[in-house]
A and B are shown apart, each in its own frame.
Chain A
Amino acid sequence: MSDVLAVAAVVAFFALGALYVVACARILAGSGDIDAPAEDDAPGTDESAATTSSERELVG
């Protein structure tokens, strides 16, 4: 291993790390429900917090 290779490997890894930040941000952004209102902000609008899936089926 030479100096050039060692330094290039380090720089390349951290450049990929920056892309990794972008990828994780896209995963978060893709969820689409981060800002969905919850019971403490808009009472009655959060249907999943305290409702079982079987109850939702019955309601549906």
Chain B
Amino acid sequence: MSTASWIQFVALGLALAASVPVVGSYLAKVFGGGSAPGDRFFGPVERLVYRATGVDPEREQRWTTYAGAVLAFSVVSVLALYLLQRVQGSLPFNPTGATDVPPALAFNTAVSFVTNTNWQNYAGENTMSHLTQMTGLAVQNFVSAAVGLAVAIAFIRGLVRRRSGTLGNFWVDLTRGLVRVLLPLAFVAALVLVSQGVVQNAGGFRDVTTVEGSAQVIPGGPAASQEAIKEVGTNGGGFLNANSAHPFGNPNGLTNALEIYLLLVIPFSLAWTFGKLAGDRRQGLAVLGAMVVLWVASVGIATGFEVGGTLEGKEVRFGEVGSAVFAASTTGTSTGAVNAAHDSFTAGGGAVPMVNILLGEVSPGGVGAGLYGMLIFALLAVFIAGLMVGRTPEYLGKKIQAAEMKLVVLYILVVPVFVLGLTAISVVTADPQASILNPGPHGLSEVTYAFASAGNNNGSAFGGLTGNTDWYNATLGLAMLAGRFLLIVPALAIAGGLARKPRIPVSSGTFPTGTPLFAGLLVGVVLIVVGLTYFPVLSLGPIVEQLGT
């Protein structure tokens, strides 16, 4: 690893370390009730939204109502985005002449963006009109991230409230997340990206003659605004087909480092927010520590495999390290943006993004989804610790009992059932097999990666798989829906159940959860649970491929 690469990595770490307390504390004030920075500016905007939508911000919701609001908002979002794609050819602001999106692809794309997955079975600049990109896809980049943020905050409230029947108000959390967090951060990020050469205009394709005298078609459009929220909201859906590998979306090493920073900053900061809202900073630091350990390990392993591996599928301006760090970060979160072809990574290097995704994206995870995913693992960890020492498990003074554990198991099993089940059907059925570019272990990896990416709402892909078929559009869409909403519901149920419980005072029998030991246990539980679940398919895919090279 070169000196420049080390400097870039250390600078990224320092920037994150400096930002996490600031952003985390800000988020705690935004969602913690009471006054928050920027009230004078944001308050009137929020009140306008509440008045226009008929929301009473003082009215709190039980977990069932909160979950119902999430589902209702999401089904309307999917249907609206589907309709927009189906009629985009007849709508204005379509300088590229994009036609109506076929039903199966429109279904897949609508589900993909509403679930914060942003799996793309199409080339953005060739398939979507500017209107669809700006009023459909970019809007969902904001609101899907805000939904995840809202659920995470509701989950924290469930852990820290005592004898409360409510978790907050979904519409208020959604609005505050959008107005006070995502929009300002994305706006500033977009300006910085534009300053570095990322495209932001209203134009379509331009025919140009290169200095060599050949003809070339250059795409234009509102790329920077989508690029910014794509990273900030851990969405990953690119305006351009080549995603963050395209020089119009990620022109240089500085923008590459900035984009990695943007996709990590909110997920890491939320662990700090958790500590602040819990009134015990050590609790947040333990969760943050587990996230950092997993992220650093995945970055180190990916870099180790890729340095000296191959430059195929990588951009020379980012190099092996810039590609490996991006890959580990985009899959440790639920972003799924790519600046290199993961399919072209070495077998070991390609396994890192896949394992990151299969871990449930908790290193540090998507906006909101990463935190509540990690806290679910924390509940499992205290349960296992309780079994080992024969004590009733507790977390933040709340007894973890049979109901919570049933819901935790439900949460953990849903995604593997869909990922492994749909992968198995796909590799033994003729039509889905035809989409596989590389037969053998790598082909299995391609299919597994696709369903893992969809089921965990990541969105990155092993490019060798042809996904734009009726089978993959439908089944990947199903996996995305299940991986998003069949996890949010039990997560909110756990929060609702815990919120109603009283808080037990700390005693000599309490297993401390704000310690490095607990962070280590948490990492172990994440690795063991996922390792046991997915080890067979990993053995037949990337592991056997690596051993064969």
The docked-state distance in angstroms from the alpha carbon of A44 to that of B403 is 24
Decide if A50 touches B508 in the complex (CB within 8 Å): yes
A49-B497 CB under 8 A given contacts A24-B490, A33-B401: no
A34 adjacent to chain B (CB < 8 Å): yes
The docked-state distance in angstroms from the alpha carbon of A25 to that of B504 is 23
Residue of A13, A18, A24, A46 with most partner-chain B CB within 10 A = A24
- Give the contacts of B21-71 with A (CB-CB under 8 A): 64, 67-68, 71
B75 adjacent to chain A (CB < 8 Å): yes
The docked-state distance in angstroms from the alpha carbon of A27 to that of B488 is 15
Report B-chain residues with C-beta under 8 Å of the C-beta of A18. 68, 71
Decide if B103 touches A27 in the complex (CB within 8 Å): no
Decide if B107 touches A1 in the complex (CB within 8 Å): yes
Interface 1/0 per residue, A1-29 and B, CB below 8 Å: 11101110111011001101100110110
B151 adjacent to chain A (CB < 8 Å): no
Decide if B75 touches A34 in the complex (CB within 8 Å): no
**Chain B nearest Cβ from A4, distance in angstroms:** 9
The docked-state distance in angstroms from the alpha carbon of A13 to that of B103 is 17
What class of interface size applies to chain A in its complex with B?
Answer: 35 or more
A34-B493 CB under 8 A given contacts A14-B75, A18-B71, A27-B406: no
What class of interface size applies to chain B in its complex with A?
Answer: 35 or more
Report A-chain residues with C-beta under 8 Å of the C-beta of B106. 6
Decide if A54 touches B71 in the complex (CB within 8 Å): no
Report A-chain residues with C-beta under 8 Å of the C-beta of B410. 24, 27
B537 adjacent to chain A (CB < 8 Å): no
The docked-state distance in angstroms from the alpha carbon of A20 to that of B501 is 23
The docked-state distance in angstroms from the alpha carbon of A25 to that of B470 is 35
A10-B402 CB under 8 A given contacts A31-B497, A39-B505, A41-B502: no
Interface 1/0 per residue, A42-60 and B, CB below 8 Å: 0000101111111000000
Report B-chain residues with C-beta under 8 Å of the C-beta of A20. 485-486, 489
Contact among B103, B407, B489, B497 with A5 in the assembled complex (CB-CB below 8 Å): B103
Report B-chain residues with C-beta under 8 Å of the C-beta of A34. 403, 497, 500-501
A1-B82 CB under 8 A given contacts A27-B493, A28-B493: no
B390 adjacent to chain A (CB < 8 Å): yes
Report A-chain residues with C-beta under 8 Å of the C-beta of B508. 50
> Among the listed stretches B126-134, B312-320, B391-399, which one makes contact with chain A, having 4 or more residues with CB under 8 Å of it?
B391-399
**Chain B nearest Cβ from A31, distance in angstroms:** 3
Contact among A3, A37, A38 with B86 in the assembled complex (CB-CB below 8 Å): A3
Decide if B79 touches A1 in the complex (CB within 8 Å): no
**Chain B nearest Cβ from A35, distance in angstroms:** 7
Decide if B497 touches A3 in the complex (CB within 8 Å): no
The docked-state distance in angstroms from the alpha carbon of A7 to that of B76 is 11
Interface 1/0 per residue, B478-505 and A, CB below 8 Å: 1001000110011001001100111111
Interface 1/0 per residue, B363-402 and A, CB below 8 Å: 0000000000000000000000000011110100001011
Decide if A6 touches B82 in the complex (CB within 8 Å): yes
Decide if A28 touches B403 in the complex (CB within 8 Å): yes
**Chain B nearest Cβ from A36, distance in angstroms:** 8
B88 adjacent to chain A (CB < 8 Å): no
The docked-state distance in angstroms from the alpha carbon of A50 to that of B510 is 7
A25-B64 CB under 8 A given contacts A18-B71, A52-B391: yes
The docked-state distance in angstroms from the alpha carbon of A56 to that of B161 is 30
**Chain A nearest Cβ from B273, distance in angstroms:** 25
Q: Which residue of B lies closest to A32 (CB)?
A: B403
Decide if B403 touches A1 in the complex (CB within 8 Å): no
Report A-chain residues with C-beta under 8 Å of the C-beta of B103. 1-3, 5-6
B288 adjacent to chain A (CB < 8 Å): no
The docked-state distance in angstroms from the alpha carbon of A51 to that of B509 is 7
Report A-chain residues with C-beta under 8 Å of the C-beta of B477. 9
Q: Show 18 A/B contacts (Cβ-Cβ < 8 Å), sorted by A.
A: A1-B107, A1-B470, A2-B103, A6-B107, A9-B478, A11-B75, A14-B485, A17-B485, A20-B486, A27-B403, A33-B401, A37-B502, A38-B502, A41-B502, A46-B504, A50-B510, A52-B509, A53-B390
Listed in ascending order, the chain A residues whose CB lies under 8 Å from chain B are 1-3, 5-7, 9-11, 13-14, 17-18, 20-21, 24-25, 27-28, 30-31, 33-35, 37-41, 46, 48-54
Listed in ascending order, the chain B residues whose CB lies under 8 Å from chain A are 64, 67-68, 71, 74-75, 78-79, 82, 86, 103-104, 106-107, 110-111, 389-392, 394, 399, 401-404, 406-407, 410, 470, 473-474, 477-478, 481, 485-486, 489-490, 493, 496-497, 500-505, 507-510
**Inter-chain pairs besides A21-B64, A46-B504, 20 sampled, C-beta below 8 Å:** A6-B107, A7-B79, A7-B82, A10-B79, A13-B481, A13-B485, A20-B486, A21-B67, A21-B71, A21-B493, A24-B407, A24-B410, A24-B493, A25-B64, A28-B403, A28-B496, A49-B399, A50-B508, A52-B390, A52-B391
